[in-house]
Structure 1
Amino acid sequence: MVLGWGRRKNKKNNKGGKPNMEVVVPNQFRCPITLELMKDPVTLSTGITYDRESVERWFNEGNYTCPLTNQVVRNFDMIPNHSLRIMIQDWCVENRQNGVERIPTPRIPISPLDVSELLFRVKESAKGLDQYGCIGLVQKMEKWSNESERNKKCIVENGATSALALAFDAFANDSIEKNDIVLEVILSALNWMFPLQLEAQKSLGSKASLHCMIWFLKHQDVKGKEKAIIALKEILSFGDEKQVEALMEIEGVNELLIEFINKRISPIITKSSLRIIWYLVSSNSNFNEKMKFSFVELGLVSSILHILIDSEKSICEKALTILDSLLSCDFTRETAYENDLTIPLLVKKILRVSPLTTEYSVSSIWKMCKYGNKNYEEKALIEALQVGAFQKLLLVLQVGFNDETKDKATELLKLMNPYRAELEDCIDSDFKNLKRSY
């Protein structure tokens, strides 16, 4: 084990029953930052030696000085101090009987040149559609990344996402079925490199790449589906309308996303599916209205209400975000009015889950009570009063919500007020006697 302080007691008594011994770690073997035994000593341009991990963390936190001397460091090169490392290893061996384990010889960190050379070969293998060559190179990159966080950072900062996205597009363009293994390997590597750079996003958002993602969602196991849907969510987060339209042209996408949120295969897939649906229904695409209608026809409103019954905070927030966006359309409101759970669940979420769920719940109720035909509006207002909306909206005005939410709450209170006389005995429903329409 690596010792953290200057002294350590040996827990084992020796045969003569002598008292436990203390192992003293020489000061020159300890990192000046953490005072722990150095595993990978490196020397800065100031001449001071530190443990690599500690001094890298120091610089990553935004410091530009040598921790011990406080001198400004103008050259951030870290020179391995091999002599000191060997001395530390020899000292560990000498004290092995006292419970000290020898520190392993550290791997040499990769350089930007190492990454550039490997990525050049990745691009060449992709051009030649050499899937086995590409797999080997990506696996080598993965091995580097597993060695240290520094290696991960070096890989990403030197263009790995762009190179891998180009390779993914090349193999997807050739044949998804034939190249499924290399495509999965590339996608797996890309998953820990997110967020994407713009150039990488364009390649990964090509028509061929999007078709491949959907193919993975249909044919891969749960882990494969998770990688694909995370990538798809990352692509759509850029708000590129052409990519949204390209995705919507793929047959069965809407049905697949609804299936994922209904079956809840895994939390990752559920949350990502909801986020993707939100990107689609809130886009400025020419297909926006058609897209919303399609989702509502497939039962999205009922699916969201089912989610609101018993889901955790982040899933509830995503579901309500979608519902609020959908309720801007007449046909969605009509569907929502027909479901007996809509108003009770929306009222239930006010001041219950998080500030965000309150804001979207108030907004959704406001849209249902303000727009649409009068019969539906009146029904919604009365139902909201019956399940305790008036009291909750009064509380919303007293808590620190944004002006828009407070304005909507105020307007709802005014709309509900004429109906209060008939409904003095308002209660907060537990939904046990409500009919579910799904």
Structure 2
Amino acid sequence: MMVFGWRRKNARKKQQSTSNMELLIPNHFLCPISLDLMKDPVTLSSGFTYDRSNIEAWLQAGNFTCPVTNQILTSFDLIPNHNLRKMIQDWCVENRKFGIQRIPTPRVPVSPTQVSDVLSSLAASTRSLDQYECLDLVQKMKKWGNESERNRCCIVDNGASAVLASTFNAFATDSFERNAIILEEILSILDWMFPLDVESQIYLGSQASLRCMLWFLECRDLSSKQNSIVALKELLSSDQQHAEALAIIEGVNQVLFRFIKDPICPKITKASLTVIFCLLSSPSSSEKIKSAFVKMGLVSLLIEMIIDSERSTCERALGVLDRLCDCEEGREEAYNNCLTWPVLVKKILRVSELATEYSVSCIWKLNKYGRKEKVLVEVLQVGAFQKLVLLLQLGCGDETKEKTTELLKQMNPYRNGLECIESVDFKNLKRSF
């Protein structure tokens, strides 16, 4: 019994000393750049091997030399070192008792030649409106893009967005319903290609393409709605002409309003607010659109949304409200809502610099183009004067500064007996937002 106890005790000590041993990684398994175990070893023309992600970052940073030898590379080809990768995997398996996990076999990155071949085939199939061949090619690119960020960059860099947008326009012109599947697949890929180049915007901004995306917003599932509204947001944000083209499509106001009234998901809500903002900023059709949105009840919806929404949503909602205050109907709705003044004043210096600018602009417009005395009295009663003074002290843009100064001058005669200060709004304020 004593001998057995000694052996058991000795074995326990030996096991503990083994577990405390530092596991040494063979030097040739380490990337010379990061000194970490290589997951995807590739060899340069200099003969030295690096982990693919590290050497790609080195080359993309504008370096033309081998990191070890500092010699100029004769070729930028990255040749997979399959033997070394297999050795590393075997070593990981042998040392799994130390918690080492086997490195999975990496997928071979897509090459520019492969992308170009697929895009050429896609363009040819588009000309004949071969939906099934196009769908196979689009799904092939989607699969490549899902494998790695490097593949996505390679696909984008070789002009995929213009070809895909052209294909989308062609099938949208042919039929939304008949070609819905291929159209949805293209939008799902374009979602990670923004911002688009000018050629891509022309195709995606055509009347057929815009009507197709609007149809998706009305009739298709959540994923298609999300991809469509994001595409519209990107288009309208890049060029005001797209806003004018979208504005003439019947039913667009109602669809966008429903996304604000009955939210589906935050991404769609934010994108919808951006699209509405761009439509309201369109010089040729803004007055008509503003009136339509006001009659639907958008002003009250925005004020309720601003109360407790997170930063980016609040900024967008305030921006839309600011645009609606440009028209008489919008201002009238704002006057009649008892939450208008508390909400606008509350958001000054509380959300972001942009939110502050929009809040001040709304108050300034409601005062300048409407019931001046009523506006001045009501904003004073919710603490606007001290907030605007503090805003000038902390600093703001020139346009906001002018509006703030004008408001303060007009408020000053009404201050006695009316002014209210909410101290919580002045706690922990910093100069930068």
Pairwise same-fold verdict (TM > 0.5):
yes
Assess if the C-alpha contact under 8 Å between 1:144 and 1:151 holds in 2.
yes
Tell me, in whole angstroms, the C-alpha distance in 2 between the residues paired with 1:18 and 1:352: 57
After alignment, is 18-27 or 304-313 more displaced? 18-27
Assess if the C-alpha contact under 8 Å between 2:386 and 2:421 holds in 1.
no
1:379 corresponding residue in structure 2: 374
Assess if the C-alpha contact under 8 Å between 1:239 and 1:283 holds in 2.
no
Change in 2 beyond 3 A, CA 1:81/1:399: same
TM-score by length of 1: 0.88
5 Å-filtered alignment, 1:203-218, equals: 203-218=203-218
Q: Which of the pair is proportionally richer in helix?
A: 2
1:269 to 2:264 alignment: no
Counterpart of 1:50 in 2: which secondary structure? strand
1:219 corresponding residue in structure 2: 219
Tell me, in whole angstroms, the C-alpha distance in 1 between the residues paired with 2:356 and 2:171: 46
Task: Choose the corresponding residue for 2:292, options 291, 294, 318.
Answer: 294
Percent identity over the alignment is 59
5 Å-filtered alignment, 1:77-156, equals: 77-95=77-95, 100-156=100-156
Tell me, in whole angstroms, the C-alpha distance in 1 between the residues paired with 2:382 and 2:15: 76
Tell me, in whole angstroms, the C-alpha distance in 2 between the residues paired with 1:363 and 1:97: 65
1:200 corresponding residue in structure 2: 200
Task: Choose the corresponding residue for 1:326, options 303, 324, 327.
Answer: 324
Q: CA deviation at 1:38?
A: 1.4
Tell me, in whole angstroms, the C-alpha distance in 2 between the residues paired with 1:322 and 1:155: 36
1:312 corresponding residue in structure 2: 310
Counterpart of 2:105 in 1: which secondary structure? coil
Counterpart of 2:42 in 1: which secondary structure? strand
Code of the residue aligned with 2:177 in structure 1: it is E
1:40 corresponding residue in structure 2: 40
After alignment, is 89-98 or 228-237 more displaced? 89-98
Tell me, in whole angstroms, the C-alpha distance in 1 between the residues paired with 2:35 and 2:89: 17
Tell me, in whole angstroms, the C-alpha distance in 2 between the residues paired with 1:299 and 1:402: 31
Q: CA deviation at 1:96?
A: 5.3
Code of the residue aligned with 1:301 in structure 2: it is V
Q: How big is each residue's C-alpha offset from its partner over 1:108-163, in whole Å with a ceiling of 9 and x where there is no partner? A: 22111100111111122222222222221111111111222211110010011111
Assess if the C-alpha contact under 8 Å between 1:386 and 1:428 holds in 2.
no
Change in 2 beyond 3 A, CA 1:345/1:128: same
5 Å-filtered alignment, 1:53-72, equals: 53-72=53-72
1:250 corresponding residue in structure 2: 249
Tell me, in whole angstroms, the C-alpha distance in 2 between the residues paired with 1:399 and 1:263: 38
Gapped runs of 5+ residues in structure 2? 1-10, 425-433
TM-score by length of 2: 0.89
Change in 2 beyond 3 A, CA 1:388/1:98: closer
Q: How big is each residue's C-alpha offset from its partner over 1:159-180, in whole Å with a ceiling of 9 and x where there is no partner? A: 1111111111111111111111
Code of the residue aligned with 2:383 in structure 1: it is G
Change in 2 beyond 3 A, CA 1:18/1:314: closer
Code of the residue aligned with 1:83 in structure 2: it is N
Q: How big is each residue's C-alpha offset from its partner over 1:83-128, in whole Å with a ceiling of 9 and x where there is no partner? A: 3333334444554566544433332221111001111111222222
Q: CA deviation at 1:413?
A: 1.1
Tell me, in whole angstroms, the C-alpha distance in 2 between the residues paired with 1:429 and 1:378: 25
Aligned pair count? 412
Assess if the C-alpha contact under 8 Å between 1:344 and 1:429 holds in 2.
no
Task: Choose the corresponding residue for 1:397, options 392, 397, 422.
Answer: 392
1:180 corresponding residue in structure 2: 180
Tell me, in whole angstroms, the C-alpha distance in 1 between the residues paired with 2:90 and 2:377: 81
Counterpart of 2:238 in 1: which secondary structure? coil
1:340 to 2:338 alignment: yes
Change in 2 beyond 3 A, CA 1:16/1:211: same
Task: Choose the corresponding residue for 2:407, options 394, 400, 412.
Answer: 412
1:232 corresponding residue in structure 2: 232
Q: CA deviation at 1:290?
A: 1.5
Assess if the C-alpha contact under 8 Å between 2:30 and 2:38 holds in 1.
yes
Q: CA deviation at 1:251?
A: 1.7
After alignment, is 88-97 or 155-164 more displaced? 88-97
2:191 corresponding residue in structure 1: 191
Tell me, in whole angstroms, the C-alpha distance in 2 between the residues paired with 1:37 and 1:388: 61
Change in 2 beyond 3 A, CA 1:16/1:247: same
Assess if the C-alpha contact under 8 Å between 1:171 and 1:179 holds in 2.
yes
Counterpart of 1:177 in 2: which secondary structure? coil
Tell me, in whole angstroms, the C-alpha distance in 2 between the residues paired with 1:100 and 1:365: 62
2:359 corresponding residue in structure 1: 361
1:10 corresponding residue in structure 2: none
1:434 corresponding residue in structure 2: none
Tell me, in whole angstroms, the C-alpha distance in 2 between the residues paired with 1:341 and 1:57: 52
Q: CA deviation at 1:403?
A: 2.5
Assess if the C-alpha contact under 8 Å between 2:244 and 2:282 holds in 1.
no
Tell me, in whole angstroms, the C-alpha distance in 2 between the residues paired with 1:47 and 1:369: 73
Assess if the C-alpha contact under 8 Å between 1:239 and 1:279 holds in 2.
no
Tell me, in whole angstroms, the C-alpha distance in 2 between the residues paired with 1:244 and 1:140: 32
Assess if the C-alpha contact under 8 Å between 2:240 and 2:278 holds in 1.
no
Q: CA deviation at 1:66?
A: 2.9
Assess if the C-alpha contact under 8 Å between 1:350 and 1:362 holds in 2.
yes
Assess if the C-alpha contact under 8 Å between 1:387 and 1:429 holds in 2.
no
After alignment, is 99-108 or 184-193 more displaced? 99-108
Assess if the C-alpha contact under 8 Å between 1:172 and 1:212 holds in 2.
yes
Q: Give me the CA root mean square deviation.
A: 2.3
Tell me, in whole angstroms, the C-alpha distance in 2 between the residues paired with 1:157 and 1:278: 31
Tell me, in whole angstroms, the C-alpha distance in 1 between the residues paired with 2:93 and 2:416: 86
Assess if the C-alpha contact under 8 Å between 1:363 and 1:405 holds in 2.
yes
Q: CA deviation at 1:234?
A: 1.2
Tell me, in whole angstroms, the C-alpha distance in 2 between the residues paired with 1:211 and 1:395: 48
2:258 corresponding residue in structure 1: 259
Change in 2 beyond 3 A, CA 1:429/1:289: farther
